Amino acid sequence: MRSYKRKLGARAYRNYSPETLDKAVKLVLTKKMTLRAASERFNIHRNTLWNKTKEIKRSTTSNSETVKPKRQHGGQPIFTKEEEDTFVAHSIAMASYGFPMTLLDLRCVVKSYLDRTGRKVPVFGNGNFPGREWAMSFMKRHKYVLSERVAKNITYARAATDTEVIYSYFEHLEKELEGLPPEKIWNYDETNVQDDPGSKKVLVRRGAKYPERIQNCSKACTSIMVCGNAAGQLAPLYVNYKAENMWSTWTENGPEGARYNRTKSGWFDHQVFEDWFINLMLPILKQQDGQKVLIGDNLSSHINLEVIRLCEKYGIKFIALPPNATHLLQPLDVAIFRVLKLIWREILSDWKQSTSGSWCTSVPKDELPGLLKKMMDKLQENIIKNLQSGFRKTGIFPLNKMEVLQRLLKAVLEESLQSLSGVVGEIFIEEL
């Protein structure tokens, strides 16, 4: 049960205020009233008065003796007050960064904290994962600081046409980017490289309905994290395999400076994000003096206590992109990922036609780093121009919200005037 309700007829429990207790104890200590008389007058059990007076006498008569603090009633807390205050501060910081957490996110943060400190909490079970009851009790203990509110969901259509969201985002962006040079404005995003090179046009007999090409492929994919700044600099690649274990051969002959990890699902969780931030991005950001900015999606599960602490220490700020608007506001989505996917499909197709790749159902993990190196080498040829173009088209650097609003207006017009077909419709859209 989340809240205990006292049964009718049960013993009365602490039906007095702390001030009343202090007054009764003071009268007993000054011998103005006996223990029994104070108990009857103030309706406090005599054992409670006796324990309290004994505790005060012991603390006043012996300065050298350390008095053990009295345990609070009921179940004892799992975390100290300082630890719980840290969780509260983390939740508030996440909301201020634009990454508000749910109760499930809070429980994941606590599990990460316990795993990091090497603690095992028996009541949390073998997985060391707090239950919903603990989260509800935590919120009750901090109800004057934290509150759980219902977030408003924004549909894709509204996110694509709501200019108020864009204006609010750029107002925040203008304050955070004031005076920052382009090399200190970074954008990160995760994507994946698939094992399918895609379909191509081929020559077949006229009238053939289902042309096919013999080539092994699968639905497997590998997650990668890409990060670049407005000056055109690209950070080393981060690769996350879908596997339970990691082998050294999966990290050989890959892109320069790349880092590798693995998860059971193949997705980026808070542990993988922390590893990417601490071991790959933080050394780059520490070399830059002053404030730095990281712009990315609003997945609160990516950021944990350690990441927040390091950001505050080294002057790094996160800026969350509005939901469902990455096609307009994410520089990597606008200018990099399409080129990256085209290059990858070309490299993958060539490898599948080679002797070593023609018989493989999917790309072996020890072959993948070499293919990724070819992809990144090809991408680096025009990376400065492409990255600068992505930051410019998303209005981040130089700061210009009209770059986004013009594209937004065009999308709205094309949707509202889709009934106009042919040349007349195209001219009407261009004129508007």
Structure tokens that stand for 406 in this block: 């013009």
Q: Is 370 buried (19+), middle (13-18) or exposed (0-12) by CB count in 10 A?
A: middle
Which residue did the predictor score with more confidence, 414 or 130?
130
Give yes or no: residues 296 and 413 share one domain. Answer: no
pLDDT in tens, 103-142: 988 898 888 888 888 899 998 988 889 999 999 999 999 9
- pLDDT exceeds 60 at position 186: yes
**What is the mean pLDDT of the segment spanning 347-352?**
90
Tell me, yes or no, whether 87 and 188 share the same domain. Answer: no
User: Can you give the CATH number for the domain in which 27 is found?
Assistant: 1.10.10
165 within some domain: no
Question: Where is mean pLDDT largest: 72-76, 201-205, 365-369?
Answer: 365-369
pLDDT for residue 395 = 94
**Domain shared by 185 and 299, yes or no:** yes
Residue that terminates a domain, selected from 141, 156, 171: 141
Asked if the model's pLDDT at residue 98 lies above 70, the reply is no
| Residue 154 domain-assigned (yes or no) | no
pLDDT at 424: 32
Residue 68 included in any domain: no
Write the single-letter amino acid at 282.
L
Do residues 380 and 423 share a domain? no
**354 and 414 in one domain?**
no
Residues 186 and 114 in one domain: no
Q: Tell me: do 280 and 373 sit in the same domain.
A: yes
Domain of residue 124: give its range.
81-141
Summarize pLDDT for 285-321 with one digit per residue, the tens.
999 999 999 999 866 667 778 888 899 899 999 898 8
3-class secondary-structure state, position 394: coil
pLDDT of residue 276 exceeding 70, the answer is yes
On whether both 285 and 371 belong to a single domain, the answer is: yes
Question: According to the model, what pLDDT value does residue 331 have?
Answer: 95
Percentage of residues of the chain with pLDDT beyond 90: 41
CA angle (103, 126, 114) in 5-degree steps: 55
* Domain match, 136 and 38 both: no
Percent of the chain with pLDDT over 70: 81
Residue 5 has what pLDDT? 66
**Higher confidence at residue 402 or residue 406?**
402
| pLDDT 10s digits, 226-243 | 999 999 999 999 999 999
Q: Does some domain include residue 5?
A: no
CA 2 to chain centroid: 29
Q: Pseudo-torsion of CA 148, 152, 156, 158, nearest 10°?
A: -150
Task: Give the pLDDT of residue 425.
Answer: 35
Residue 337 lies in a domain: yes
Q: Is the pLDDT of residue 400 over 80?
A: yes
Q: Distance between CA atoms of 38 and 23, rounded to whole angstroms?
A: 9
Is there a single domain that holds both residue 242 and residue 365?
yes
What is the average pLDDT across 148-171? Answer: 69
- Examine residue 173 and state whether it is found in any structural domain, yes or no: no
Kind and range of the H or E run holding 190: strand 185-194
Predicted pLDDT at 322? 85
Q: Minimum mean pLDDT among 36-45, 137-146, 213-222, 344-353: which range?
A: 213-222
Let me know whether 393 and 409 are in one domain. Answer: no
CATH number at 310 reads 3.30.420.10
* Number of separate domains in the chain: 4
Confirm whether 71 is domain-assigned. no
- CB-CB contact of 416 with 428 (8 Å): no
CA 214 → CA 16, 68, 219, 355, 421, distances in Å? Answer: 83, 77, 16, 14, 39
Confidence of residue 192 (pLDDT cuts 50, 70, 90): very high
Read off the tokens for 193: 């490289």
Burial track 208-237 (b if 16+ CB lie within 10 A, e otherwise) = eeeeeeeeebeebbbbbbbbbbbbbebbbb
Confidence band, pLDDT 50/70/90 cuts, at residue 102: confident
Domain membership of residue 73 (yes or no) is no
Give the per-residue pLDDT at 138: 92
> What gap in Å lies between CA 107 and CA 163, rounded to an integer?
35
**Local confidence band at 372 (pLDDT 50, 70, 90 cut-offs):** very high
SS (H, E, C) 93-115: HHHHHCCCCCHHHHHHHHHHHHH
Same domain, 235 and 383: yes
